Amino acid sequence: MKARGALLAALIFLSAGCVGFRPGALGADAVGKARLDFAAGRFAVVVSGLGGERIPLLPRRVRAEAYFLLGRSTEHAESLVAALPIYQFAVGLYPKNLALLTALADLLHRVGLGDRARPHYERVLAIHPNNAAAHLGLAEIDRAQGFLARSQAHFDAVLEEWGDNPA
């Protein structure tokens, strides 16, 4: 009888310990630390903390933000070219995440690939029609390509949302 009780106690102990344990799992506090490092301008620390194979070890609810922080930090610490595959991979995983879609479109637009950025901005507007950042990106692309009427419409939408923003 004692052996049976000890065996039952051991099984309960092992099952309780295995439920929340993943070898090498990072907690959500890793993203909180990355957020603080990013705000402080320690971009290389964010890249080293979230880079490699670390993000899949995070809880699912914070992975999209982790990819965003990693991408933005890579832009600052390394280069735009190094950040591009991070954003592309993350948008593949989270196709409706506005922050990731906008970051990818902004990066493509900044390096002169407006035609590649346009579908991402349009996807942002399909999800959130009043998104000022997407309207601004499309306005700049349309202006550069000579579509001034379309550009004007997008700039008007930006002013409706960001009218109080002096920039």
The larger pLDDT score, comparing residue 97 to residue 4, is at 97
Which residues, including other chains, have CB under 8 Å from residue 25's CB and lie 6 or more apart? 57, 58
How far separated are the first and last CA of the chain, in Å rounded? Answer: 77
Q: What is the pLDDT of residues 49-75, one digit of tens each?
A: 998 889 999 999 999 999 999 999 999
pTM assigned to the model:
0.79
- pLDDT at position 162 is 85
**Sign of the torsion angle spanned by Cα atoms 123, 124, 127, 128:** negative
